[in-house]
Structure 1
Amino acid sequence: MGKLDNIEPKSVFKFFEEICQIPRCSGKEEKISKYLVDFAKQNGFTFIQDDAYNVIIKKPGTSGYEKSPTVILQSHMDMVCTKTDTSTHDFDKDPIDLVIDGNTIKANGTTLGADNGIGMAISLAILESKEIPHPPLEVIFTANEEEGLQGAAQLDMTSITGKTMINLDVEDEGVFVASCAGGIRHVISLDIIWEDVPKEFVPYRVTISGLKGGHSGLEIDKGRGNSNILMGRFLHELQSTINFSLSEINGGIKMNIIPSKTESVILIDNQDFGKLKSKVESWNQIIKNEFMSSDEKVNISINEIDMPKKVFSNKSLDDLIFVLMTIPNGVQTMSMDIKGLVESSTNLGVVNTVENTVTFVSNIRSSKRSLKYNILNKMELIAKRVQADTLSDSEYPEWDYDPKSNIRELFVNTYTKLYNAEPQITAVHAGLECGFFKNNIQEIDIISFGPNIYNVHSPDETLDFNSVNRSWELLLHVLAELK
């Protein structure tokens, strides 16, 4: 007897418990993909499995729906695998240890994998049922969503005939996602002209830290400081106060994280130390005032360090400051369709000095392709001005908001009738698999929804099974209407 046998809807939680027995960390989907193929074979369904372990299962419409337009159900099969410091769980072989806590389900010391295992379970329960009325279905399970949407990016969509898609990868009940941002990575590589260290100059490390940082898509609208940009401002201001040289600058961890700490090594005539100290003190007041609401712990500090071997030429220093002072960063435009939604943004996530080059790595996002390329073009012009090389890669497509979406209207009307409440229509300023489907299938109409899942991607991940029941009920009513 399974732990979840008595939880409704029983067919959904039967599959969810089976899924939780199978290791399926991102990038290791072979076993869960085989499980899906075996399920399709056992039930006599047509299926496709590709080299990336994506699986498409097709099922005819039920009685009265045989000639109805095909509907796509889509979820991803992989999960983020994290655990507590004390957990001995082995994600490569151990099943998820499920724990029922009131009306929720958790895992013992690990992520639960309800993101997106519950979406898979709902789809499998519909596929298996001989009683649920529905149109012809194309049920798509993508691999490696959590590591850059790789499965969707590699999926051959030429065999997909459906023009209506329901994505099951949302963690907030009553919230329907109707758009997502596309993105691209942009790198400026500035060659350094090196010079000897000026005589009698003393080296100091300047550190800007204490910023909150955060996700460059979901938290770009919080007004949080970017330590790389702030360092550019400080160096620019310092140029008007004292003569200094620069030997390195490093800040940020990843392009999709707002940088919270940046360090630069400068060299000054020791007679100018008082001016440097005064500038640091005044800049502490400036940035604390600017970010008193978003980054109250922001701080700039200096400390003397060992002598570096060489320094930037004046031209290289000027070029570096020019890039930092002019490169687009933060929110660029807001959506006119969805209140409060960031439409386009960019984040200068990483600045690194490596050998003879300084690299500036930005993450550009936009729900409109033209705006994404407009930001890209600005960065290209900046690079051209300082004769730097550029690279653009890791691009993924946007899912632009459709004001006339029929599937969204059906979901809204059905939800309102069932629960006498208005759902929230929203969008995410981050990449979703829906963008690849929108980009590859002409005139496809998409909605994304799901039950309440809390603390995803952490060992505190929790699934509300009453919310699953309501989401299941909603989906069945919608499918019944798609005749």
Structure 2
Amino acid sequence: MSRILEGYRPERVLYYFEEISKIPRCSGNEKQISDYLVDWAKSKNLEVYQDEYHNVVIYKKGTPGYENSPTVVLQGHMDMVCEKNEDTVHDFDNDPIKLVVKEDHIHADGTTLGADNGIAVAMNLAILESDDIPHPPLEVLITSDEETGMTGAMNVDPSVLKGRILLNLDSEGEGIFTAGCAGGGRINFSSKIDRKEGKYSKKYRIGIKGLVGGHSGVEIHLDRANANKLMGRLLFKLREFAEIEDVQGGSADNAIPREAFAVASTDDSDKLKSEVEEMEKTFRNEYAFSDAGIVIEIQEVEESICEVFSDDFLDRYLKLINLVPYGPLKINRDIDLVIQSNNPGVVKIEDGFLKVKCAARSSIATLRDDFCDQMVQLGEATGFEVEKRAFYPGWEYAKESYIRDLCADVFKEEFGTEAKVEAIHAGLECGFFIEKIPEMDAVSFGPEMHDIHTPDEHLSISSTERTYNLVKSILKKIK
């Protein structure tokens, strides 16, 4: 059976990318991909380490002439954000990602692609298996659960790493070297649902769809709509003449939610439809320049009326979802960088509880702590329990960096143009490694990819080849 990516370059990188795309690896479900990496390393007679968190380190000695060169840590993460379009039939726990090539880009068929960060894993395996790429001693670190809390990086034992130069391959813009990032974490709200007997005769499923979505650390400043926030506004308008049975939206707290759904019952169908149409016009007008594809679909449901949210519970939920902040909260205007934001990425009902899951980010610890205090107060005011978890450190931009300067110099030699060096609002695992090993000198980069954390995610093939060649050239210079 022929491979989808057969014939494209870099051949071995794309071979491994296709191989790992066959392995389910949503965040929290990484055992299979972790074991694959261990078995692969053993098959190549490479020393390998695996911990209880499914982190994997693969060791390779330096090539001739590089035996005594400084050890380099090549790093990426094995997990991926698992999102799909509503009409896509896909079981992320069992089904392989279906790859599609469109001109220069690799897409998935109705799901996230997992190039974030599968392409780093693929590059590292291609380097490890090669016997003709000059390089210093390597420690390839592939972490788990990066997307939902960085718990893999948080729990890496620093004693398994001897390298003090870190090349993190978890960035998405070619020609950009990242050398600093925000910290952040998760703030989750939860309340047991109080229900009552429904009194209205007609039931409707309402869906807000067509939003662009995106990565809550990369696209948060682009004024893209948040489907959970829009649904909160809509349900507030409907509450006087409709009852709500169900609400849900988003599938990853660090992805701007593209879709949200609710089930409402009413005796005034005309008014319901009129309000939905009016709010669709309102949303499309408000986001005409940044998220123009918003649609609200409404469909009558034939099921019998079930128990609905009590008046008090609906009121508490609407106050929470409509008051919880979304988007940039503070911006450094000198460098045009978001330094604080929040994304209510997931609304779901689970085991009789309604849960709202947020990804909060901040470059300044005091702002982070104050925001957490505000969210505790919001929870107290609305009767929702608040959980703060998986907070990770920021990565301060170093005044001096050997590897940052080397990467910029090699890029200019390779392409004849200056690379961009920046700090970003999105979170990277580098902060954990530098916190554990203060003398670690780090930089992050990667090939061109777009719309990560959404089913529109796509990876440039030509950029992948250029970036892979760049990694090899950088390794050659570290001697």
Taking structure 1 as the reference length, the TM-score comes to 0.72
The answer to whether structure 1 residue 230 and structure 2 residue 230 are counterparts is yes
1 CA distance for matches of 2:105 and 2:309? 57
2 CA distance for matches of 1:209 and 1:145? 29
Q: CA shift at 1:202, angstroms?
A: 5.4
1:302-381 alignment to 2 at 5 Å?
Answer: 306-313=304-311, 315-335=312-332, 338-339=335-336, 341-353=337-349, 357-381=353-377
Partner of 1:160: 161
Deviation string, structure 1 residues 191-211 (Cα, Å, up to 9, x no partner): 44444556xx55554735234
Q: CA shift at 1:225, angstroms?
A: 1.9
2 CA distance for matches of 1:176 and 1:196? 57
Of stretches 290-299 and 390-399 in structure 1, the one that deviates more from structure 2 is 390-399
Q: 1:36 aligns with which of 38, 41, 46?
A: 41
1:247-286 alignment to 2 at 5 Å?
Answer: 247-254=244-251, 255=253, 256-265=255-264, 267=266, 279-286=275-282
Q: 2:119 aligns with which of 115, 134, 138?
A: 115
Q: CA shift at 1:54, angstroms?
A: 0.8
Q: CA shift at 1:448, angstroms?
A: 1.7
1:350 partner SS: strand
2 CA distance for matches of 1:387 and 1:203? 30
2 CA distance for matches of 1:276 and 1:453? 41
Q: Contact (CA 8 Å) 1:25, 1:79: kept in 2 or not?
A: no
Q: CA shift at 1:412, angstroms?
A: 1.6
1:219 partner SS: coil
Q: CA shift at 1:327, angstroms?
A: 0.8
Deviation string, structure 1 residues 359-400 (Cα, Å, up to 9, x no partner): 222222344454444333322110111232222334444434
Q: CA shift at 1:35, angstroms?
A: 3.0
1 CA distance for matches of 2:270 and 2:360? 40
Q: Contact (CA 8 Å) 1:185, 1:362: kept in 2 or not?
A: yes
The 1:206–1:233 alpha-carbon spacing in structure 2 relative to 1, beyond 3 Å, is farther
The amino acid across from 1:231 in the alignment is M
Q: CA shift at 1:250, angstroms?
A: 0.6
Deviation string, structure 1 residues 200-250 (Cα, Å, up to 9, x no partner): x555547352341423423333322223222333344556xxx44633341
The 1:32–1:245 alpha-carbon spacing in structure 2 relative to 1, beyond 3 Å, is closer
Which ranges in structure 2 are unaligned for 5 or more consecutive residues?
84-92
2 CA distance for matches of 1:349 and 1:466? 33
The 1:221–1:211 alpha-carbon spacing in structure 2 relative to 1, beyond 3 Å, is farther
Q: CA shift at 1:253, angstroms?
A: 3.2
Partner of 2:128: 124
Partner of 1:214: 213
Q: Contact (CA 8 Å) 1:365, 1:372: kept in 2 or not?
A: yes
Q: Contact (CA 8 Å) 1:455, 1:461: kept in 2 or not?
A: no
Q: Contact (CA 8 Å) 1:210, 1:295: kept in 2 or not?
A: no
2 CA distance for matches of 1:106 and 1:275? 45
1 CA distance for matches of 2:278 and 2:19? 58
Q: Contact (CA 8 Å) 2:228, 2:344: kept in 1 or not?
A: yes
2:474 partner SS: helix
1:116 partner SS: helix
1 CA distance for matches of 2:45 and 2:257? 43
2 CA distance for matches of 1:357 and 1:17? 43
The amino acid across from 1:57 in the alignment is Y
Q: CA shift at 1:76, angstroms?
A: 5.0
1:187-198 alignment to 2 at 5 Å?
Answer: 187-197=188-198
Q: 1:439 aligns with which of 408, 423, 435?
A: 435
The answer to whether structure 1 residue 141 and structure 2 residue 150 are counterparts is no
Deviation string, structure 1 residues 159-188 (Cα, Å, up to 9, x no partner): 323332112344544222223444433221
Q: CA shift at 1:252, angstroms?
A: 0.6
Q: CA shift at 1:349, angstroms?
A: 2.4
2:478 partner SS: helix
1 CA distance for matches of 2:346 and 2:123? 35
What number of residue pairs does the alignment pair up? 447
The 1:365–1:262 alpha-carbon spacing in structure 2 relative to 1, beyond 3 Å, is farther
Deviation string, structure 1 residues 81-129 (Cα, Å, up to 9, x no partner): 99xxxxxxxx99x9x99x9x99x89899998987124431464278x56
2 CA distance for matches of 1:324 and 1:206? 19
Q: Contact (CA 8 Å) 1:248, 1:353: kept in 2 or not?
A: no
The amino acid across from 1:285 in the alignment is K
1 CA distance for matches of 2:233 and 2:18? 50
1:409 partner SS: helix
The amino acid across from 2:461 in the alignment is L
Partner of 2:86: none
The amino acid across from 2:159 in the alignment is T
Q: CA shift at 1:298, angstroms?
A: 2.8
Q: Contact (CA 8 Å) 1:163, 1:443: kept in 2 or not?
A: yes
Q: Contact (CA 8 Å) 1:75, 1:116: kept in 2 or not?
A: yes
Partner of 2:461: 463
Q: Contact (CA 8 Å) 1:157, 1:440: kept in 2 or not?
A: yes
The 1:377–1:468 alpha-carbon spacing in structure 2 relative to 1, beyond 3 Å, is same
Which ranges in structure 1 are unaligned for 5 or more consecutive residues?
83-90
Taking structure 2 as the reference length, the TM-score comes to 0.72
The 1:392–1:266 alpha-carbon spacing in structure 2 relative to 1, beyond 3 Å, is farther
Partner of 1:86: none
Q: Contact (CA 8 Å) 2:243, 2:264: kept in 1 or not?
A: yes
Deviation string, structure 1 residues 10-55 (Cα, Å, up to 9, x no partner): xx967886897787653323243233245455xxxx6644452612
Q: CA shift at 1:261, angstroms?
A: 2.5
1:422 partner SS: coil
1 CA distance for matches of 2:15 and 2:230? 49
2 CA distance for matches of 1:287 and 1:230? 8
2 CA distance for matches of 1:166 and 1:331? 29
The 1:285–1:395 alpha-carbon spacing in structure 2 relative to 1, beyond 3 Å, is same
Greater gyration radius = 1
